[in-house]
Amino acid sequence: MVEPFDRRVIEVGDGHQIHIEQSGNPDGVPVIVLHGGPGGGCSPYMRRFFDPAHYRAILFDQRGCGRSRPHAEVQANTTAHLIADIELIRQHFGIGRAILFGGSWGATLALAYAQTCPDAVESLILRGVFLGRRSELDWFYGGGAARFFPDRWAEFLAPIPEAERGDMIAAYHRRLFSGDVAQETRFALPWLMWENALAGLETSTTGHAPPDYARTFARLENHYFANDCFLEDNQLLRNRHRIEHIPAVIVQGRYDMVCPPDAAWDLAQGWDKAELRMVAASGHALSEPRITAELVRVMDGLRQRIPA
């Protein structure tokens, strides 16, 4: 496993501190890694996609999660704030143009940043595309995915009174932001387990997660989804013209139940510099063997096009 050569915490304003690590070649091609969630945080697993002799991988925990502080904080925590944080990181390290590498919510954020700062982006490597559209949220929290996982959906519904089940994001929001930490933690686990249960094509879940992690993840993700990811509906597709000059590779699991493949398809259609790679027999998770292997192939292939 590649170990970081640098770890630091920087102030980004509004009382937030974000944790950053760098690994690989300090003089290599910079890659800014954007984790999923929102609220998921980075893990050592995310370093394995980048040849340490060629790439300078920059991972950071977004506001409120992972090793960033304060934990589970939603004040001054919006998509615009995260875009500003990425730009601050780029300037902090004196980086010109960087590759953006993001999956799921990380792909959403990569697209939003690139459309805001297109001159700062060398390439986009996206996995399990989520465009932040209301239709995508309705699929996952409005009963679409439930048709394939009725047992898991029943577990997700169970803590919520029947009268409130017409809007599961709002129902969980009331409990995840009740001000009672014990209650927030109790309702965080079924929120997290619903997503985890669908993330891998063959992944089984134990139903357990560290309580603090579950609460942080559920609060941040729910906060963003309750606010439509702080994006106008279809914004990322409508503004795609701003980034069509940027090369992109989209790696998408054919059987992704969290972020169905039609979003990746919609994003790639008519984008001449984008290559969509549908990965057979794969779901959503970064750790799925075929997804991992494809992302390694993508990054190894970029070594020839973008010299260190």
Please, are residues 272 and 244 in contact by the beta-carbon 8 Å criterion? yes
The Cβ of residue 202 has, within 10 Å, a number of other Cβ atoms equal to 10
Q: Which of 16, 54, 173, 284 is catalytic?
A: 284
Q: Which of 19, 35, 54, 104 is catalytic?
A: 104
61 noted as active-site residue: no
β strands within the chain, DSSP E: 4-13, 16-24, 29-34, 55-60, 98-103, 121-127, 248-253, 274-279
Q: Calculate Rg over the CA atoms of the chain.
A: 18
Q: Which of 61, 123, 256, 282 is catalytic?
A: 256
Do you know the residue count of the chain?
A: 308
Q: Classify 37 as helix, strand or coil.
A: coil
284 noted as active-site residue: yes
Structure tokens at 109: 């954020």
The sheet with strand 274-279 has its strands ordered as 4-13, 16-24, 55-60, 29-34, 98-103, 121-127, 248-253, 274-279
178 noted as active-site residue: no
Task: Give catalytic residue positions.
Answer: 104, 256, 284
